[in-house]
Amino acid sequence: MNVALFNDIPKSISATFLELTRNNGQTLMVKDYYDLASKMTEISFDVIVLNYKDDTNEIEYFINKIKIDSPKSRIVVYGIYDTNLTIKYMRLGVDFCFTSNMPIEQMKEFLFKSIIYNAPNINDKMHKYFWFAGESKAIKELKVNLNDAIASNRNIIIRGQSGTGKSSISRIIHESSRQKDLQFKQINLSMYDNEYLENQFWITFHNLFESIESDIEGLKSPIAGTVYIEHLEEQSSDFIISLLNMISSNQNKINDSTLQEITPRIILPWKGQKDIFKEHDILNDNLYILRLPSLVERKEDIPLLIHTIIKKYAEKYNKDIKSISLEAFNLLMNYEWPGNIRELESILECAVLTATDPYLDLSNIGITMDMLYQVSKHNILGIYMPLHASIQKYQQALINTILETSRNDIDNTAYFLGLNKNELFNKMRLLNISINHN
């Protein structure tokens, strides 16, 4: 989200837009329309903010020029005090008009929900494959590599941290390949003991690829089209090497030259740090390495992911959830996501399920102490506000979280905060915190 502000805008308003776009774009100041036009040759502005200064002709000139030069930009006029002028400018194409006496916090929340975080169109396919929604460099590279992997018809090793979508992407590979009409088999190695893996596993594994006659004359197919083998990194080196060598040599390929061949594809998710593949020199042309980026590596995709997940679960639970509050959005943007997209999905599903208002806020997110510690480094609970107010807001969130976690146990909450009970009660009274007995 790119915003252009004319530099005669009050500092409080420019600070508001700086905060609104710091996790989702940029805000630039322009001197006049010529400066704006110059910047528009390099940057596409989503929002352009004008300041009304009793010069109706100048504002009308700017509005008309913007509509011609940048028709997709949304226009905001600040400082309007006349209802008739507001109506006039809205008819000219202005999206929003604000009075100078509108409270900053109210304006900030309205702008965030209405303009900065305006929901995109989300289709059913995006619901199904939402883990890969986005336009970040990391996800664009992944999509290119994914298409190459599918087209190659090779066996695939998917590398990525926990929660990055290895299982989901394996389904995409299966459904996009020529094996899509055959079964997708999932093998969880952690379910078997060592004795089974050393003996019976290899028989079971082989049976998955035995050829069976299909309904199409002259065509044989394996029982499984794609086999997804989980938790390989937890097994012994000998087992891993044996399995990879077996796959690499393509021993399970259907080798009947008189019949059309369909080769089963094997997909191995790998979240281990150790690079056993290079160590033992077992990679060749029959194995394709596909690496999934962590959520931190594709942080610019988080706004779209939030929208998509909220929409998905709002429909699932029949909830009228429109979007998310600015504070909750900033918290999600600044958290480091050790559990990656799976963790984001889990938090937002729970938030939607417990929500009673159209907008998710901090009370729905289920803030953990780890979250508070991480995001406090970014000062997301109080950026662009006086230090005292920022500290108060952080303390409020911290005390409320500990109270909720301890089920309103005052003794435990005071102990955790390093306070005695009287100090805690005084702090709660100053911060207007009450205990919820529900």
Structure token digits, residue 345: 């999905």
CB 160 within 8 A of CB 166: yes
Does 123 fall in a domain? no
User: What pLDDT is recorded for position 101?
Assistant: 78
On average, the pLDDT of the chain sits at 77
Residues 282 and 148 in one domain: yes
| Residue-wise pLDDT tens digits, 70-114 | 888 888 888 887 778 888 888 888 888 888 777 777 777 777 766
Residues 249 and 311 in one domain: no
pLDDT at 292 over 90: yes
pLDDT at 217 over 90: no
Q: Which domain holds residue 237?
A: 137-291
Of 64, 87, 116, which residue constitutes the final position of a domain? 116
Residues 171 and 219 in one domain: yes
User: What pLDDT is recorded for position 341?
Assistant: 92
Residues 261 and 381 in one domain: no
In the chain, the number of structural domains is 3
Residues 68 and 196 in one domain: no
Helix axes 302-316, 340-354, angle to 10 degrees: 40
Residues 277 and 161 in one domain: yes
Does 131 fall in a domain? no
CA distances from 330 to 20, 21, 133, 309, 358 (A): 9, 10, 20, 16, 18
Does 127 fall in a domain? no
Q: What is the CATH number for 23?
A: 3.40.50.2300
User: What pLDDT is recorded for position 403?
Assistant: 79
User: What pLDDT is recorded for position 406?
Assistant: 67
Residues 286 and 328 in one domain: no
Helical ranges in 192-236 per DSSP H: 194-198, 200-207
* pTM listed for this prediction: 0.65
Of 116, 148, 172, which residue constitutes the final position of a domain? 116
Residues 286 and 149 in one domain: yes
| Residue-wise pLDDT tens digits, 392-429 | 777 787 788 777 766 787 877 787 677 888 889 988 98
Q: What is the CATH number for 360?
A: 1.10.8.60
User: What pLDDT is recorded for position 381?
Assistant: 44
User: What pLDDT is recorded for position 359?
Assistant: 84
